[in-house]
């Protein structure tokens, strides 16, 4: 089972404020523990939405909309991908996640990643399995 631990953005992360050394150290310790346990797949922080864009779809048309995006509670500041044996194990790792923005209200969200087997057999699923690097 794969899970993504999503770090929600704050006004500071959207302003490009870099984490303090103490947080970087705590995050390194946490991710070292994940790696030692053999459950770490990937982890990174994200630049503010002012450096990003969205592709909006409307009636078959695509449009690029440049950031920044106003509502920080809908934005992501970083993520950690883990692969564990159970939902409970994912919860235990999530509870150990360092407080991302000490002194500020913040949240991490944990979401299970779909596995191809959950979709049932189909040609599209089989094509996806053959793609190198698809994470399955």
pLDDT tens track, the chain, 136 positions: 999 999 999 999 999 999 999 999 999 999 999 999 999 999 999 999 999 999 999 999 999 999 999 887 789 999 999 999 999 999 999 999 999 988 888 889 999 999 888 988 899 989 988 898 775 6
What local confidence, expressed as pLDDT, does residue 9 receive?
92
Nearest to 37 by CA among 79, 85, 4: 85
pLDDT at 136: 63
| DSSP assigned state of 22 | H
The pTM (predicted TM-score) of the whole model is: 0.88
pLDDT at 71: 80
Burial of 32 (0-12, 13-18, 19+ CB in 10 A): exposed
For residue 60, what is the DSSP state? T
Q: How far apart are CA 118 and CA 35, in angstroms?
A: 27
Calpha distance 82→33 (Å, rounded): 12
For position 129, what pLDDT does the model report? 87
Q: Does residue 116 contact residue 128 with C-beta atoms inside 8 Å?
A: yes
């Amino acid at each position: 089972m794969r899970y993504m631990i999503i770090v929600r953005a704050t006004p500071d992360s959207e302003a490009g404020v870099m984490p303090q050394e103490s947080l970087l150290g705590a995050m390194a310790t946490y991710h070292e523990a994940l790696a030692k346990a053999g459950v770490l797949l990937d982890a990174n922080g994200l630049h503010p939405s002012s450096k990003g864009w969205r592709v909006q779809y409307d009636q078959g048309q695509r449009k690029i909309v440049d950031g920044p995006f106003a509502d920080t509670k809908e934005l992501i500041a970083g993520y950690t991908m883990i692969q564990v044996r159970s939902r409970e194990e994912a919860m235990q790792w999530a509870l150990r996640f360092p407080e991302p923005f000490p002194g500020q209200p913040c949240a991490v969200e944990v979401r299970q990643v779909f596995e191809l087997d959950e979709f049932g057999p189909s040609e599209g699923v089989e094509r996806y399995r053959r793609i190198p690097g698809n994470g399955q």
